[in-house]
Every structure is written in C-alpha cells, then in structure tokens.
C-alpha cells in the first residue's frame, strides 16, 4: 500500500510522528486482507474482531513531509486463535527501510473472548 506523508503526519521536528506509523500499519493490514479477498467489515459482521495484543516496532530512519512511502505486509505465523504479521514502511524513491514491525492479533467474539480464527481467514493467511 502506498501513501503520501502530509503535514498532519509530522511532529514539531518535521518528521513523521512515531504513533502515525501504527495508523499506517493498521491501514495496510486492512488492505492486505482486502487484496486477498477478505473484508474486515465482513469478518466483523460475522462476529470476529482482531485486537492487537503485541506490537514490536523498530524505527530505522524518518519519513518527512511529502515522502511517498509504501507499507508492505507479510504473514509470519498463524495459530489457532491468533496470527502475526511483519510490516515495513519503505520510502518509495530510494527503497530505504524506515520502520519495521511485528504485530500479533487475536480473534475475539462477543465479550472479547478468544475464539478460533475463521476458516476463510486461515486459508488466506496460509496461502499468503
């Protein structure tokens, strides 16, 4: 997924504020699933939501105003109730790695009780 860095993304130092990268990761996860034929909305409507339970982020270099970056997402692990993705933010013009992360999401239903991942999701994650 590609995105442009806007003024609203930056901090007083003129670089992307660190917490904005979490927004980029979230959008990229949603688009990753959409590209695989799954809708986060449809999964939600079927009673499955996916809160983040673990997040590791390494900041390598800053993105700045007007940069075009891409967020890449890959499947690292698939369990019975959770899955882990690797994500990277890369500056498009020079392929420089800016941020990399590892995020684990768990499937929960009503009452925030953990439940098995939907079979359609498991199939998509194992294929990707």
Q: What is the per-residue pLDDT across 26-83, written as a single tens digit (0 to 9) for each?
A: 999 999 999 999 999 999 999 999 999 999 999 999 999 999 999 999 999 999 999 9
Q: What is the per-residue pLDDT across 97-122, written as a single tens digit (0 to 9) for each?
A: 999 999 999 999 989 999 999 999 99
Pairing of strands 68-78, 82-91: antiparallel
Catalytic residues: 11
Range of the domain at 105: 2-127
CATH number of the domain bearing residue 91? 3.10.129.10
Q: How many domains does the chain have?
A: 1
What pTM was computed for the model? Answer: 0.94
**Average pLDDT, integer, range 4-28:** 96
Give the pLDDT confidence score for residue 110 in this predicted structure. 87
Cα-based distances in Å from 99 to 1, 22, 39, 116? 14, 10, 26, 30
């Amino acid at each position: 997924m590609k995105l442009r860095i806007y003024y609203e993304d930056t901090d007083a130092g003129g670089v992307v504020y660190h917490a904005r990268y979490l927004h980029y990761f979230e959008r990229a996860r949603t688009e990753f699933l959409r590209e695989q034929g799954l809708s986060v909305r449809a999964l939600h409507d079927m009673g499955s939501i996916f809160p983040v339970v673990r997040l590791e982020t390494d900041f390598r270099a800053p993105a700045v105003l007007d940069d075009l970056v891409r967020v890449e997402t890959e499947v690292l692990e698939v369990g019975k109730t959770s899955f882990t993705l690797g994500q990277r933010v890369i500056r498009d013009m020079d392929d420089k790695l800016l941020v990399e992360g590892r995020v684990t999401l768990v499937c929960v239903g009503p009452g925030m009780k953990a439940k098995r991942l939907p079979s359609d999701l498991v199939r998509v994650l194992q294929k990707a």
